[in-house]
């Protein structure tokens, strides 16, 4: 399968100017091609082929005074810009035919977009120097912060400038069957939530870090300073970057948490069952901020590609499965319960059930996985503590220690 490996790059002043020129040229070619195709559509003519667009908007345009500056950048990134537009139109038409989720019609790109990107293929003759720098045509050697080794020779590299003004190099590499992990026995059901980010069918509970909630005070201050700056001023642009960097820190921390937890689950279990949550619907409720802060969709997407990469099985059950209403011991449906009810007693067998662990066990059973709930908080009823066990216990550990179960913490 194909994977992306992203690394931070640190261009110099001249290289930043060259990258800005490349971003602008790619954007102009994209908009010119979009304008030609929309004009043809309005006149009832067939769409121009990508080869004709390349000849008209790149090769011939370089000879005109208005577009002579296109020759100052690599022609490969201009060709890739045309291919991006072609893919955007293909996705739009396939969405209309029902072959894929619906996407909007391609739109013009603005020079005021805070995120810019250009892509170099093998034809551009880019390379990684013996000193570990990324050599790009007509840009130079970029300093790369390598955090890991690429598993194979990359086919393309995309240079991205994000809203916070940071530069990244994103490599596309191929992975083979040698990365498949040895088979293991455990299987687990995962119930995603807000109080706890994930509750496993074996009784483990992973706390919710709530990265956005923890950074709200700092974000509000930065956004308040931005609102007081005069539009169009340099100080406003500096304040905007400050806000973007604060949001980027939150997003990076959340992504790191998702990666560590998903990798741990994939390595420990042969099969993982999750619930197909209606995230878009939940994001329209009063819990919208907390739902977006949790990032369930991104986490499940990581589980999906890592399961395919390492030879594991990911099973998704329907969102209408009554996992919180069915007793995981006797299978009797006890009806819906309000959210504040976290522990309930089955009316049929008398088992005391933890709501989240019970749901995780039911998710695993609905997926056809044989799971053991021996470590889960399920008991036949309240049992008084024996006299030898009662008494004064040591001072409880700090609250932050409860997060020790989170991988990498």
Could you say which of 191, 202, 293, 354 is catalytic?
A: 191
Cβ atoms of 329 and 349 within 8 Å: the answer is yes
Beta bridge partners of 333: 326
Token pair 């100017």: residue? 17
Q: What is the H or E stretch that residue 76 is in?
A: helix 75-96
Strand order across the 205-207 sheet? 205-207, 196-200, 187-192, 271-275, 313-317
Whether 141 sits among the annotated catalytic residues: the reply is no
Alpha-carbon distance of 103 to 3, in angstroms, equals 23
Sequence-distant (≥ 6) Cβ neighbours of residue 31 within 8 angstroms: 108, 109
Helices (H) and strands (E) in the chain, counts: 10, 15
Out of 202, 275, 293, 354, pick the active-site residue. 275
Handedness of CA 284, 287, 290, 296 (dihedral sign): negative
User: What whole-number distance in Å separates Cα of residue 178 and Cα of residue 386?
Assistant: 53
Name the catalytic one among 202, 293, 354, 356. 356
Q: Is 32 a catalytic residue?
A: no
**Measuring CA to CA, which residue among 371, 377, 383 is closest to residue 344?**
377
Give 3-state DSSP helix, strand, coil % of the chain, rounded to 5: 45, 20, 40
Alpha helices in 196-283 (DSSP H): 211-214, 216-227, 234-268, 279-282
Q: Are strands 343-345 and 134-136 parallel, antiparallel or unpaired?
A: unpaired
Note whether 391 and 373 are within 8 A (CB). Answer: no
Note if 275 is an active site residue: yes
Catalytic residues: 191, 275, 356
């Amino acid at each position: 399968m194909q994977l992306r490996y992203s690394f931070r790059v640190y261009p110099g002043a001249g290289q930043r100017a060259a990258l800005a020129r490349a971003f602008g040229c790619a954007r102009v070619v994209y908009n010119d091609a979009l304008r030609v195709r929309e004009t043809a559509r309005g006149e009832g003519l067939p769409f121009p082929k990508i080869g004709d667009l390349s000849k008209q908007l790149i090769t011939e345009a370089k000879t005109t005074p208005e577009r002579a500056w296109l020759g100052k950048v690599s022609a490969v990134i201009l060709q890739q810009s045309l291919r991006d537009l072609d893919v955007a139109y293909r996705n739009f038409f396939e969405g209309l035919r029902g072959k894929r989720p619906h996407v909007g019609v391609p739109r013009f790109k603005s020079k005021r977009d805070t995120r810019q990107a250009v892509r170099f293929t093998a034809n551009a003759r880019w390379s990684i120097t013996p000193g570990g720098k990324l050599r790009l045509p007509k840009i130079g050697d970029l300093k790369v912060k390598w955090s890991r080794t690429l598993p194979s020779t990359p086919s393309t590299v995309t240079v991205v400038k994000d809203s916070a003004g940071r530069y990244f190099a994103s490599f596309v590499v191929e992975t083979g069957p040698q990365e498949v992990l040895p088979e293991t026995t455990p299987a687990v059901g995962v119930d995603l939530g807000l109080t706890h980010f994930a509750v496993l069918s074996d009784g483990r509970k992973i706390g919710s870090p709530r990265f956005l909630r923890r950074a709200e005070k700092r974000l509000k201050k930065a956004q308040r300073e931005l609102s007081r700056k005069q539009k169009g001023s340099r100080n406003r642009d500096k304040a905007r970057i400050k806000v973007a960097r604060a949001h980027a820190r939150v997003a990076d921390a959340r992504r790191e948490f998702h990666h560590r937890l998903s990798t741990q689950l994939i390595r420990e279990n042969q099969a993982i069952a999750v619930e197909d949550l209606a995230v878009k619907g939940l994001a329209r409720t009063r819990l919208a901020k907390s739902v977006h802060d949790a990032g369930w969709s991104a986490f499940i997407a990581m589980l999906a590609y890592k399961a395919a990469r390492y030879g594991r099985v990911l099973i998704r059950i329907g969102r209408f499965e009554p996992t919180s209403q069915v007793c995981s011991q006797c299978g009797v449906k006890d009806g819906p319960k309000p959210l504040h009810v976290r522990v309930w007693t089955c009316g049929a067998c008398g088992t005391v059930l933890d709501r989240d662990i019970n749901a995780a066990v039911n998710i695993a059973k609905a997926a056809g996985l044989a799971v053991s709930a021996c470590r889960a908080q399920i008991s036949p009823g309240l049992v008084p503590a024996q006299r030898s066990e009662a008494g004064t216990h040591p001072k409880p550990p700090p609250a932050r220690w409860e997060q020790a179960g989170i991988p990498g913490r």
